[in-house]
Amino acid sequence: MAPRRSRPCAYCAEKSAGLDYKDPRTLSRFITEGGKIQPRRQTGMCSKHQRQVSAEIKRSRHLAFLAAATVE
Ligand SMILES: [Zn+2]
């Protein structure tokens, strides 16, 4: 188990902040310009919330709430 970092992740610090796949504005903070999910070392989130965010992003992608980088 990873030791607790001095800086808590954004969602641990702010418990009221909800993770919602229907909120692309929030989720987009965790996505790179290329449309990829940022690694944890960049987001600074704990593994628990990182997993939640990535799950929500994938769900959001699936439902096309996020503007997927569709360069086809
Ligand atoms: Zn957390």
**Ligand 1 mean position, distance from CA 62 (Å):** 24
d(CA 44, CA 6): 11
pLDDT reported for residue 51: 92
Tokens 């980088």 belong to residue: 69
- Map out the domains of the chain with their CATH numbers: 22-72 (4.10.640.10)
**Ligand 1 mean position, distance from CA 49 (Å):** 5
> Residue 72: is its pLDDT beyond 50?
no
**Ligand 1 mean position, distance from CA 2 (Å):** 13
**Ligand 1 mean position, distance from CA 60 (Å):** 20
> Residue 54: is its pLDDT beyond 70?
yes
d(CA 43, CA 32): 11
**Do 52 and 45 meet the contact criterion of CB atoms below 8 Å apart?**
no
Q: What is the dihedral of CA 62, 67, 71, 72, to 10 degrees?
A: 40
Mean per-residue pLDDT, 1-28: 72
| pTM, full prediction | 0.69
Whole-number mean pLDDT of the chain? 77
